[in-house]
Amino acid sequence: MVGYFLRNKTISWMVTILLSVGGIVSFLGLGQLEFPDFTIRMALVSTAYPGANPQQVEEEVTLRLEKAIQEIPNLKRVSSVNSAGLSQITVELDTDVQGTALPQYWDLLRRKIGDAQAGLPPGTSESLVVDDFSDVYGLLFNLSGDDYSLYDLKNQADFLQRELRLIEGVKKVVIAGDRPEQVTISLNRERMQALNIPPDALIGLLNAQNAVADAGSVRRHGKIISLQPSGEFRSVEALEDLIVGRPGANPVHLGDIATVTRALTDRPGQLYHADGKPAISLGLSFVSGVNVVKVGEAVDARLAELESRLPLGMQLTPVYHQPQVVKEAVSGFVINLMESVGIVIVVLLVFMGLRSGLLMGLILSITILGTLMLMAAHGLQLQKVSLGALIIALGMLVDNAIVVTEGMLIGLGKGKSKLEAAKEVAGQNWLPLLGATAIAITAFAPIGLSPDATGELVGSLFWVLFYSLLLSWITALTLTPFFFDIFFKDREIGDGDSHEDPYKGVIFQLFGWLVDKGIRFRWLTIAVCVGLLVGAFALSSNIKNAFFPDSTTPLFFVDVWMPEGTDILESERVASRLEAQVATMDQVTHVTSVIGGGAQRFTLTYSPEDRYASYSQLIVETEDLDSRASRMAEIITLLRDDYPEVQYKVQALQVGPAAKASLEARLYGPDPDTLRKLATEVSEVFRAEPFVDSIRLSWGNRVEELTPEFLEQQARRVGVTRQALHQALLIHNDGQMAGVYREGSDLIPIVLRDERQERYGLNDIASLNVWSAEQQTYISAGSVLGPLETQLHDPLIKRRDRQRMLAVYAEPLPLSGETAANILARLKPQIEAIDLPEGYHLGWGGEDETSRDAKKALFKLLPLGILGMFILTMLLFGNLRQSLAIWAIVPLTVIGIVGGLLTFNAPFTFMALLGTLSLVGMVLKNAIVLVEEIKIQMPLYEAPFDAVMAAAISRVRPVSMAAITTMLGMIPLFGDAFFASMAVVIVFGLGAATLLTLVILPVIYATLFRIHPPSPVKGPTGTCPL
């Protein structure tokens, strides 16, 4: 192959141009994202059961649906939230389920839920299955304006929605935060009772009058003419003219007994504020695989055109602009990549000379461009992980080319022709280099093949390294000799009569002395290494552990939980007060408040909170990262001092899969009282830890419930049913749905409710009158009700894996330097020491579970990866002792890893774990090159010791150069929060491992093969290795 590319220069130029031009074109056409997509294998089954309390919802609805859901294969987890009148079941599939198969599973889920509907109690609505959790609204805007109502804002949002949907690359445009209108019929109870008009009669008349019905058609003169009788309501005012009197009596209009108004509902599901003003949220998601930067530019251009059509004073403010974030992230990483390439080339120029350095730089550039072309063919996108993988690969990409160039330079120095030198180097090294490259690739395989969300997040790391390393081996054996032929002339380095030792330099001599002493005092050398390794393991307990770092986006969240049972309008009042205080803080640019639930998912790592009236979230944007940290601390102090009634969590945006809470202790068992007692004990353990904050229960606090006793016998005597009582109470308080008012495409609910001044307090319910269908008159509710009692009950009952589960949530104190893993390590023994009654058990969630799941998926494949690397090593050498000598270096990398993490006070994150695994491949690659050289040198020397020394000295430059280029190429990643811990691991681990490979590996090799220093023996060139 080498000779072919040297002889056929046209083919060589063609391949070079193809890789270069193809890479540039591919780079310009690659899709761009901030982070890779990962599959969310979850669906939500929502079932309304109006009037039921949480326990009834659990027992009569959720348990039956859970039983049906359990029949679905590859089920990972079923969890549920049971609240008053609503069952919400979350179904999560196993990570082995591919994303393309999800629609089939969700269809099966719908069928199972549909079959179970017949067994649900009367009054239960049809279950709704939602499976679009993976939709990400990367463009999130707030539409707001002074002196504009939510109705005005909603109309303009509808207009923008229609226009933006037409842009190519936009998948969905979703509106949130609108407060629906309703037509309220405020009843005057005294007049209704005086006229003896029952509520059901009003509801029936409203539905009948406004119903859409088929009136048929008539034939006339050979044509069919449809009939559409008039009479439906043309305006809200027309409702007051509806005749509601009893048949045979004087006409009574609805306006005589009620006031009809059209207004926004006072029970909204969710509310938005933008910098203190009511707002509507507008979220745009992108079609999969598109370049979000280009689509974002198209959206911005269209919005600039539409802005002039918005009413004066109404403005659209970005909350999260993913295309801009992606553009900055990709541009920053491209700059980092160019810096790394520049660093590598400068290092090569310094240590290998001008022409060798330029040659290596050219091969490196061609390899990177070729990798971009293969990424495009695979469908990979430009994002932080794939670009980071290119930076990680930089040093390794020149490894093979360095070995080939080094060998050809030595060959020329010995008087060989370029063709002879190339053939000799390729013949000796193509298989070891291929094996070493394959081993380095295999080290990353558990990362790329891990099926969970974390594996999907960092999976592109493997594929980029796979393509780039494989391509580097090909270019090293083909294009490197070709360009070497252009850069160098025959006999330029040396001549055939020269026997000058190429390793006479001071560095080589010093290194040879170290190796010689190491072999002579082998047991002392090995003991020192073992001591360093034991010390590193002992010091590793001082390293902080974390799962993923915070995002570098200057944005953070303030989650606020009011006591359960709080009305959403009261939650809005508190959120408004807090946002006004936050907005005045220095370096805060925008504050978005979401009341009643989380915002639309604007990035995959953001997990919106469920819908609760007592919950609100502030999304705070700051000028930079430093101001983000200081504002988070300031807000925590503010919440502690001024808001004692709330529970809170202050947290930056995450870059990895997010958990419900960083710390989560789960208590399982049947009795809510016992669960709450145990949860109190767990909470006390958390509170005793000074670095723990935001302690809260997943069930919230217990709330009051008024339970008037229904007297069955008295009710029968007066003809009052339990349903009639419930209806009277509903109309008196919340209001009862009584039909819809049609206006164009809008269906506005009509609600019957007593006039505000007629509504009684909790203790006056007995004064309410209830319709008796039997006696055709109103009866006092006091005659059918016993004593009124107020009881405390659980507003939420949560289940997990078909058991009741109460979780205690907590967070590490922000900016304290403590991680969830370290805190849990301290508190776990205390919590697990709590005495649990029979039938109860403890589980762990939060970051601990997320990290365990990710590592479980990774380590599931890790043994196969290690076995594959060891088998490749054995196949390369066919000798167990040589393979063991190579693998003996791997544990010693811990010395550098621990030293680096402690020096930089960096946590051991999941990315650091991946860096450790990748380091194994790098170290093995260098060790293989050295052991293979020992094999080559053995026949050339009478004494094996001299062969080991000659091989060790000859590999100093290629091995150290490969390590130095990799290490220095990682420098730009030190400033990136996502890759920083990985960069520390690789730089320090590889630095220590390289020194140990060059010095300790010959010692271990000599020990395993019982090689001892003999008296000096001349080498084949007449010189001694030393």
Weakest-pLDDT range from 100-114, 725-739, 1010-1024: 1010-1024
- pLDDT over 90 (residue 841): yes
Nearest of 395, 428, 410 to residue 484 by alpha carbon: 410
What's the average model confidence in pLDDT over 551-566?
90
What's the average model confidence in pLDDT over 864-873?
87
Weakest-pLDDT range from 407-411, 530-534, 839-843: 407-411
What pLDDT does 1021 receive?
44
Residue 95 DSSP label: T
What pLDDT does 114 receive?
93
CA–CA distance, 219 with 739 (Å, rounded to integer): 33
Beta carbons within 10 angstroms of residue 356's beta carbon: 21
What pLDDT does 636 receive?
92
What pLDDT does 1019 receive?
46
Mind listing the pLDDT tens digit for each residue in 406-461?
788 888 877 788 888 888 888 887 888 888 888 888 887 877 777 666 677 778 88
CA–CA distance, 734 with 720 (Å, rounded to integer): 21
Tell me the CA end-to-end span of the chain in Å, nearest whole number: 36
Domain 504-549+860-1026 listed as CATH 3.30.1390.10: no
Query: Regarding predicted confidence, which is higher, 333 or 611?
Result: 611
Beta carbons within 10 angstroms of residue 264's beta carbon: 14
CA–CA distance, 979 with 383 (Å, rounded to integer): 13
What pLDDT does 335 receive?
83
Taking a C-beta distance cutoff of 8 angstroms, is the pair 229, 203 a contact?
no
What pLDDT does 230 receive?
63
Among 3.30.70.1430, 3.30.70.141, 3.40.640.10, 1.10.3210.10, what is the CATH number of 41-133? 3.30.70.1430
Read off the tokens for 749. Answer: 């609910």
Among 3.90.1640.10, 3.30.2090.10, 3.30.70.141, 3.40.50.300, what is the CATH number of 181-211+229-264+705-793? 3.30.2090.10
Nearest of 150, 143, 190, 178 to residue 164 by alpha carbon: 143
Cβ contacts of 653 within 8 Å, gap of 6 or more: 550, 551, 553, 555, 556, 557, 603, 605, 606
In terms of C-beta density within 10 A (0-12 exposed, 13-18 middle, 19 or more buried), how is residue 335 classed? exposed
Weakest-pLDDT range from 512-516, 614-618, 814-818: 814-818
| Residue where the block lists tokens 């960096």 | 906
- pLDDT over 90 (residue 331): no
Cβ contacts of 542 within 8 Å, gap of 6 or more: 902
What pLDDT does 139 receive?
93
What's the average model confidence in pLDDT over 903-932?
85
Instruction: Please list the alpha-helical segments (H only) found in 545-620.
Output: 568-583
Residue 121 DSSP label: P
Mean residue pLDDT across the chain: 86
What's the average model confidence in pLDDT over 858-872?
83
CA–CA distance, 334 with 344 (Å, rounded to integer): 15
Q: Give 1025's pLDDT tier (boundaries 50, 70, 90).
A: very low
Instruction: Please list the alpha-helical segments (H only) found in 584-671.
Output: 625-642
The SS3 call for residue 586 is coil
Read off the tokens for 619. Answer: 């999304």
- pLDDT over 50 (residue 1026): no
Query: Regarding predicted confidence, which is higher, 655 or 556?
Result: 556
What pLDDT does 828 receive?
94
CA–CA distance, 575 with 639 (Å, rounded to integer): 11
Mind listing the pLDDT tens digit for each residue in 168-227?
999 999 999 988 889 999 998 888 888 888 888 888 888 877 777 667 778 777 788 877
Read off the tokens for 894. Answer: 């811990």
1-29+353-500 against 504-549+860-1026: fold identical: yes
Mind listing the pLDDT tens digit for each residue in 992-1017?
988 888 889 999 999 999 998 875 54
Q: Residue 172 carries which side chain, given as an amino acid letter?
A: K
- pLDDT over 90 (residue 1018): no
List the chain domain ranges.
1-29+353-500, 41-133, 181-211+229-264+705-793, 504-549+860-1026
Nearest of 314, 308, 487, 375 to residue 26 by alpha carbon: 375
Adjacent-strand bridge partners of 95: none
Adjacent-strand bridge partners of 586: none
What's the average model confidence in pLDDT over 963-988?
85
Q: Residue 46 carries which side chain, given as an amino acid letter?
A: S
Provide the whole-model pTM: 0.80
CA–CA distance, 503 with 305 (Å, rounded to integer): 70
What fold does the segment set 1-29+353-500 form as a domain? Answer: Multidrug efflux transporter AcrB transmembrane fold (1.20.1640)
Mind listing the pLDDT tens digit for each residue in 586-633?
999 999 999 999 999 888 778 888 888 999 999 999 998 889 989 998
CA–CA distance, 155 with 497 (Å, rounded to integer): 90
What's the average model confidence in pLDDT over 293-300?
93
Read off the tokens for 975. Answer: 């400033």
Q: Give 760's pLDDT tier (boundaries 50, 70, 90).
A: low
Taking a C-beta distance cutoff of 8 angstroms, is the pair 49, 85 a contact?
yes
What pLDDT does 1017 receive?
46
Mind listing the pLDDT tens digit for each residue in 459-509?
888 899 899 999 999 999 899 989 988 888 765 555 444 455 666 667 788
Read off the tokens for 76. Answer: 């990972």
What pLDDT does 454 receive?
65
What pLDDT does 1015 receive?
57
Q: Left (φ > 0), alpha (ψ -120 to 50) or beta: where does 276 sit? A: left
